[in-house]
Amino acid sequence: MEVFDVTIIGGGPAGLYSAFYSGLRNMKTKIIEVQPVLGGKVNTYPEKVIWDVGGLPPLQGRQFVQNLVEQASIFSPTICLNTKVEQIQKQDNFFVISTDCGEVHYSKTIICAVGGGILHPLKLEIEDSEKYEKTNLHYTILDMQRFRHKTVLISGGGNSAIDWAVELLSVTKDVIVIYRKEQLTAHEAQVEKLKEHGVQIMLHAEIKSFLSNDSDMIEQVIISQNEDIYAIPVDEVLISHGYQREASLTFADNIQPLRKNDYYLVSQGRCMTSVPGIFGAGDIISYDDKVGLIVGTFQDAVLAVNNAKLYIDPDANEYAMVSSHNDKFIEKNNELLKKVYSKT
Ligand SMILES: Cc1cc2nc3c(=O)[nH]c(=O)nc-3n(C[C@H](O)[C@H](O)[C@H](O)COP(=O)(O)OP(=O)(O)OC[C@H]3O[C@@H](n4cnc5c(N)ncnc54)[C@H](O)[C@@H]3O)c2cc1C
């Protein structure tokens, strides 16, 4: 039986940075991720440009995920993809982690980094709408170029929908936003950008049906707005109505961490949960002044890992040393600096 020091459930930004940091703290580390790829929610916005991570130039979600994975791989953690953690139990001094593929993993500590859980986009409730998913009905944008010089109708008024609308302005011919409520709920600054570009925004409006051609390409979207019905010609349709969250994993009865709204793990301070040995990082953990952004996941990861280290070895340093003082980087620094100086 192979017992890991720390098993991280979820391979999003919180899980990936935890993996890097636990390697730095000499812990035998495993990541378990239900999706076939690492990166978490950021994979739902691969083309979006991320501006607000300290020390990084603006970069696309796709590139950001690559960077995170590269960093997480530095200390060679074990990575299990396509594996959903279903249940966690406690046995003697370690946790037993059961997965949907029948595997069982053993670990001294757990960092729960399941973020928004397993996300499924909320689909349009219109008969036969699935058939258009093969043509021009989208629930996310995987390749911005597809939308170049096109008229795109976006349904949704939250942050995701409006972020997409703003991103698309640079490539599309026209963007039209429709939303069923009386006001968009996205960040004001993003809404302002749409207004500055004269984007048509239809409120109190909903998609009723599609008119398509013989190849099942949507050509017109039938919209109801108040009492009126409109047929809007389009090239592509993007639906951004949010996500349905699958409950993700369960804990055995004797190790139920305190939760908020049945989902979030409540931090008892420094990303510890109410169960000794189980920690939380990223969007799953809740505490006062929590920053629900990528930068917040990094701070959580550091706290969770440092406390996991102390749980295993109460005599360990409370914090890792800064990079410059850490022996683990001496060889790697030499290699990196050699490359830098060979270029000058
Ligand atoms: C459209 C959009 C745009 C955003 N833009 C920005 C931005 O510009 N800047 C910013 O800072 N933040 C942004 N965010 C927020 C940011 O993406 C999140 O804060 C961040 O992804 C949280 O990371 P996480 O690792 O906690 O969770 P997640 O990214 O949700 O990762 C959790 C991972 O856990 C996995 N998982 C869940 N349950 C299980 C299970 N039972 N077994 C195994 N694996 C499991 C999931 O598959 C997922 O990969 C944006 C979010 C969205 C939706």
The one-letter amino acid at 109: T
Distance of CA 234 to the CA centre of its chain: 30
**Measured distance CA(165)–CA(16) in Å, rounded:** 29
The one-letter amino acid at 261: N
Residue ranges of domains in the chain, CATH in brackets: 3-119+244-339 (3.50.50.60), 123-241 (3.50.50.60)
- Please give the chain's pLDDT, 344 residues, in tens: 899 999 999 999 999 999 999 999 999 999 999 998 999 999 888 878 999 999 999 999 989 999 999 999 999 999 999 999 999 999 999 999 999 999 999 999 999 999 988 888 899 999 889 999 999 999 988 788 999 999 999 999 998 899 999 999 999 999 999 999 999 999 899 999 999 999 999 999 999 999 999 999 999 999 999 999 999 999 999 999 988 888 779 999 999 999 999 889 999 999 999 999 999 999 999 999 999 999 999 999 999 999 999 999 999 999 887 777 777 788 888 888 888 888 76
Residue 203, classed as helix, strand or coil, is strand
Question: To test ligand 1's pocket by mutation, which of 33, 41, 104 has the most ligand atoms within 8 angstroms of CB?
Answer: 41
Q: Is the CB of 150 under 6 A from ligand 1?
A: no
pLDDT in tens, 215-229: 999 999 999 999 999
Q: Whose CA is nearest to atom 35 of ligand 1?
A: 10
pLDDT in tens, 69-110: 999 999 999 999 999 999 999 999 999 999 999 999 999 999
The one-letter amino acid at 158: G
Question: To test ligand 1's pocket by mutation, which of 107, 285, 294 has the most ligand atoms within 8 angstroms of CB?
Answer: 294
- Encoded tokens for 163: 């972020």
Residue 55, classed as helix, strand or coil, is coil
Which ligand 1 atom sits closest to the C-alpha of 14?
25
